[in-house]
Amino acid sequence: MLLKSLVLKKEFLTTINEKATLEEALTILEESGYRCVPIVDDSGKIFRGNIYKMHIYRHKSRGGDMTLPVTHLLKNATKTIQVNSPFFQIFFNIKDLPYIAVLDEENHFYGILTHAKLLSMLSDAWNIHVGSYVLTILSAGEQGELAKMTKIVSKYSSIAGCVVLDANKNDLIRRTLITLPAGITTEKLDIIIDKLEKKGFAVPSVEDLQTGQTIRDNEISPDEITEDN
């Protein structure tokens, strides 16, 4: 299961018992260096929520009682996902959180998925270390478009990665990012772009992964995207 491979299991995490005081929680946070850690019950199986260092400091600066239980400042109690959650659901739930708690099939605390780990996985889709160029291809969102554009590219190159993104509904409908493998010459790159554009696909942007430079950056209007490609 993909998600399990990304999760940091609870056995390797710094956690705080729900019976700890705010003072004890602050000590743990200071010693660990984390800005936020999970709160769990005595068994370690039940995720209660998160405690943030900034919230404890704010409470303390206002003369708050530091002997109160850590649950007094508990946050994100319902911000969890299942270990078998679909990938799109993870995106909707993690948003601005530093991590999201992951529960197993019995709703027991399994571990956490960090924002950084998720972004790292997404960056791998670009195959930066083995890729040469990333083509941003715009299309009208019609059925069969992905098959058509990948067929064109595959005539001249293998495909190292492919990510499909929906654009704003009031603008261009779809963006497809195709990563070409290392070793593709600029001549072959130009041929691929030319063939795509002749079939009605716009290629406004091309990034060189090895130099980090954008070598093509054109403004494209919706009228330039044909629906019959």
Helix (H, G, I), strand (E, B) or coil at 164: strand
pLDDT < 50 regions, the chain: none
Residue 84 in contact with residue 3, Cβ under 8 Å? Answer: yes
Check residue 93 and give its pLDDT: 84
Tens digit of each residue's pLDDT (9 = 90 or more) over 59-76: 999 999 999 999 999 999
| Model pTM score | 0.68
Tens digit of each residue's pLDDT (9 = 90 or more) over 193-220: 999 999 999 999 999 988 888 988 876 6
b/e map of 171-186 (b: 16 or more CB within 10 Å)?
ebbbbbbbbbeeebee
In this structure, what token pair is assigned to residue 28? Answer: 């743990």
- Tell me which H or E stretch contains 132: strand 131-139
Taking the C-alpha atoms of residue 201 and residue 83, their distance in angstroms, rounded to an integer, is 38
Taking the C-alpha atoms of residue 150 and residue 196, their distance in angstroms, rounded to an integer, is 10
Check residue 131 and give its pLDDT: 82
Taking the C-alpha atoms of residue 164 and residue 178, their distance in angstroms, rounded to an integer, is 9
Residue 146 in contact with residue 164, Cβ under 8 Å? Answer: yes
CATH number 3.10.580.10 given to 2-121: yes
Helix (H, G, I), strand (E, B) or coil at 100: strand
State in Å, rounded, how far the first CA of the chain is from the last one.
37
Residue length of the chain: 229
Write the CATH number of the domain with boundaries 126-224.
3.30.70.260
Check residue 56 and give its pLDDT: 98
Q: Spell out the domain ranges in the chain.
A: 2-121, 126-224
